[in-house]
């Protein structure tokens, strides 16, 4: 009976830790997809595939700027999974520098995105580069 109870407790601990690691990965992938969607909507406006809408541009830029501030919290120690590379944790100084640069870039972008199509389009290019500046060293290729 004691043996059974211990086994059960261990199974519960394993199941719950497994579930939480999975939730962390699911959350960050969902948040990254929101960033991808925001970039897609802005890019359509920048290319003229959709009419420029200042309120919409501002709203999408706010999504990017808000998400940017929480990116580091989506990658807690021990949450390596998916396409997250080891370097996020083994080179945390660079990771923090790149994350901070992304906050700066998206904050600046949020200030111009709603002011006109041209400044939005110019800023969008820089934000896209900042996405890549993190993906190149820290995101593994899709399987
Ligand atoms: C500071 C680093 C960093 C920044 C900045 C960043 N990303 Fe990511 N992104 C990652 C990492 C790491 C992953 C892989 C996460 C995983 O698989 O667990 C990822 C994954 C993704 C994914 C793939 C989700 C999937 O389907 O698996 C998309 C889409 C994405 N990012 C879009 C963006 C866009 C768009 C931007 C810029 C607006 C951006 N990211 C900025 C680090 C970053």
Distance 115 CA to ligand 1 centre (A): 27
Residue to substitute in 34, 85, 135 for testing ligand 1 pocket (most ligand atoms within 8 angstroms of CB): 135
Predicted confidence (pLDDT) per residue in 31-58, tens digit: 999 999 999 999 999 999 999 999 999 9
Q: How many CA atoms lie within 13 Å of 3's alpha carbon, on the beta-carbon side?
A: 0
Domains and CATH numbers, the chain: 2-138 (1.20.120.10)
pTM for this predicted structure: 0.87
Does the beta carbon of 98 lie inside 6 Å of ligand 1?
yes
Please say if the pLDDT value at position 18 is more than 80.
no
* Distance (Å, whole) CA 19 – CA 58: 36
**C-alpha closest to that of 46 among 108, 118, 133:** 118
CA-99 nearest atom, ligand 1? 1
Report pLDDT for 143: 80
Atom of ligand 1 nearest to the CA of 85: 12
Q: Which residue's CA lies nearest to atom 31 of ligand 1?
A: 32
């Amino acid at each position: 009976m004691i043996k059974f109870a211990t086994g059960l407790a261990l199974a519960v601990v394993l199941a719950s830790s497994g579930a939480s690691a999975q939730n962390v990965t699911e959350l960050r992938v969902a948040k990254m997809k929101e960033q991808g969607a925001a970039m897609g909507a802005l890019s359509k406006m920048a290319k003229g595939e959709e009419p420029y809408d200042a309120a919409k541009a501002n709203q999408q830029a706010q999504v990017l700027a808000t998400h940017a501030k929480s990116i580091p919290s989506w990658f807690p120690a021990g949450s390596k999974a998916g396409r997250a590379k080891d370097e996020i944790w083994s080179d945390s100084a660079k990771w923090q520098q790149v994350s901070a640069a992304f906050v700066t870039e998206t904050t600046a972008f949020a200030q111009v995105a709603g002011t006109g199509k041209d400044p939005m389009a110019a800023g969008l290019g820089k934000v896209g580069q900042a996405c890549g500046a993190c993906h190149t060293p820290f995101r593994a290729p899709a399987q």
